[in-house]
């Protein structure tokens, strides 16, 4: 059985909220229904075969006379799940899943745990990621943010640029504690350090520092630094 079938069945089971024998029986029923419909239609997408997992789960709850796990508010049920029919390379364009144990997976993913190109969640993984704990390939913003290009948050760690209370990066960091080749903030550690309280580095400048002197030091330490970054730092100083 394909991983898509397994993921689909897990979502249905998770929405029903059953365990033990009842879960096993429902799982077997779903497997049989999916395989039977696949053989008769030739379709391999479980969403096309049986429909939205929440709707399937609701039918099971009604048949088993189970109370709905969701709470209704303004016409929506919580936990709430929405999966768009539109897909990009087999991935839903939008997936919203507010189930505490669910995972939202889509180009736009929103949930307690989310994985997507644009990801929004308490635990968020994506190309552009936003959440309490955010892991982003390009950009991450959150309480704890980790990324390849830009991180912003309480604790921000990035290869290129980090901004936050604790900011750690390879090239540029700005924050209460900043560590990078070029660091600006309260306590700084770097080749070029512009600090308010304490700093360590090859070129150190106590605030208020002369922007031109700091820029000159950056050009010596990093002669190929991007011009826009130098202008940004100059304005910050």
pLDDT tens digits, 3-31? 888 888 888 887 776 677 888 888 888 88
Model pTM score: 0.63
Region 56-61 average pLDDT: 82
Peptide bond before residue 129 is cis, with ω within 30 degrees of 0? no
* DSSP codes joined into one string, 26-59: HHHHHHHHHHHHHHHH----HHHHH--HHHHHHH
Of 122, 147, 172, the residue at which a domain comes to its end is 147
Say yes or no: 162 and 234 in one domain. Answer: yes
Question: In the listed set 99, 124, 147, which residue is the last one of a domain according to the structure?
Answer: 147
Average pLDDT value over all residues in the chain: 86
pLDDT (tens digit per residue) in 163-215: 999 999 999 999 999 999 999 999 999 999 999 999 898 999 888 888 888 88
Task: Specify the pLDDT at position 23.
Answer: 83
One domain, residues 87 and 136: yes
CB 180 within 8 A of CB 191: no
Do 180 and 112 lie in one domain? The reply is: no
- The predicted pLDDT at position 76 comes to 46
| Co-location of 124 and 86 in the same domain | yes
Q: What does the block give as tokens for 223?
A: 């002669």
| The pLDDT of residue 71 is above 70 | no
Number of domains present in the structure of the chain: 3
Q: Where does the chain have alpha helices with state H?
A: 3-16, 20-41, 46-50, 53-63, 211-221, 227-236
Q: Does residue 215 share a domain with residue 169?
A: yes
Mean pLDDT value of segment 123-139: 95
At residue 74 the predicted structure's pLDDT band, cuts being 50, 70 and 90, is very low
* Core vs surface per residue 185-198: b (16+ CB within 10 A) or e: bebbbbbbbbbeee
Element (H, E) at 206: strand 203-206
| Lowest mean pLDDT segment, chosen from 46-55, 153-162, 195-204 | 46-55
Range of the domain at 59: 1-68
Residues 110, 39 share a domain: no
What stretch of H or E contains 109? strand 103-147
Same domain for 123 and 162? no
42 and 80 both lie in a single domain: no
Residue 173, pLDDT score: 94
The answer to whether residues 55 and 100 belong to one domain is no
Same domain, yes or no, for 41 and 105?
A: no
End-of-domain residue from the set 52, 68, 84: 68
One domain, residues 41 and 77: no
Confidence check: pLDDT of 122 > 80: yes
């Amino acid at each position: 059985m394909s991983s898509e079938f397994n993921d689909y069945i897990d979502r249905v089971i998770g929405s029903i909220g059953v365990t033990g024998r009842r879960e096993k029986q429902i799982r077997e029923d779903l497997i049989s229904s999916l395989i039977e419909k696949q053989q008769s239609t030739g379709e391999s997408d479980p969403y096309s075969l049986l429909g939205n997992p929440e709707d399937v789960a609701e039918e099971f709850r009604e048949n088993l006379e189970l109370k709905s796990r969701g709470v209704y508010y303004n016409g929506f049920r919580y936990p709430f799940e929405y999966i768009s029919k539109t897909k990009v390379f087999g991935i839903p364009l939008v997936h919203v899943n507010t189930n505490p144990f669910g995972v939202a997976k889509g180009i736009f993913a929103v949930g307690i745990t989310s994985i997507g190109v644009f990801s929004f969640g308490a635990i968020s993984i994506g190309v552009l990621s936003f959440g309490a704990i955010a892991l982003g390939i390009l950009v991450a913003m959150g309480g704890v943010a980790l990324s390849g290009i830009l991180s912003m948050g309480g604790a921000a760690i990035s290869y290129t640029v980090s901004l936050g209370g604790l900011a750690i990066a390879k090239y540029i960091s700005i924050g209460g504690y900043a560590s990078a080749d070029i660091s600006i903030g309260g306590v700084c550690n770097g080749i070029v350090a512009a600090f308010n309280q304490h700093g360590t580095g090859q070129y150190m400048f106590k605030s208020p520092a002369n922007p031109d002197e700091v820029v000159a030091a950056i050009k010596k330490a990093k002669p190929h630094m991007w011009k826009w970054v130098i202008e940004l730092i100059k304005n910050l100083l």
